[in-house]
Amino acid sequence: MSPAKFKLSLLLTLQGKTFLVTGGNTGIGYATTLILAAKGARVYISARSLTTANLAISKILALHPEGDLHTLILDHTSLSSVVSGAQKFSSNGKKLHGLIVNAGILAVPYEIEKDDFESQMQVKYLVH
């Protein structure tokens, strides 16, 4: 189906389904979160900043007030942050139906993170 003919209404309902979108506060992750919310999914937006995650949620709720949106603070440059976020999600008792692996970085200077991995390798691959 070409993008020009795509209709959101053609997607089935996602009511009762839970999704986690890494980097769901900007770009493609935001657009994905918007569609999931519009289709009735419970969506957890993982982001490094509570402020930017909440801003994205506010914008989505303005368009879809029925949205069931939550934040999960994860800093992909910190393995301990990712473990903590995973434990927090696991403790909520919700089954995860879909994971949108979107968070990433691109064209950053070479850097070794505090966990001794190169930043792009850690953010894009290891923590997902």
Spatial separation of the C-alpha atoms in residues 50 and 25, rounded to whole Å: 10
Tokens of 23: 């980097």
Res 23: pLDDT: 93
In this predicted structure, the answer to whether residue 10 has a pLDDT above a threshold of 80 is no
Of the options 3.40.50.720, 1.10.760.10, 3.40.50.300, 1.20.58.480, the CATH number for the domain spanning 13-126: 3.40.50.720
Q: Give 99-128 pLDDT, tens digit per residue.
A: 999 988 788 888 898 899 888 888 788 787
Res 106: pLDDT: 80
In this predicted structure, the answer to whether residue 3 has a pLDDT above a threshold of 90 is no
Task: Label residue 10 exposed, middle or buried (CB < 10 Å: 0-12, 13-18, 19+).
Answer: exposed
Spatial separation of the C-alpha atoms in residues 83 and 121, rounded to whole Å: 17
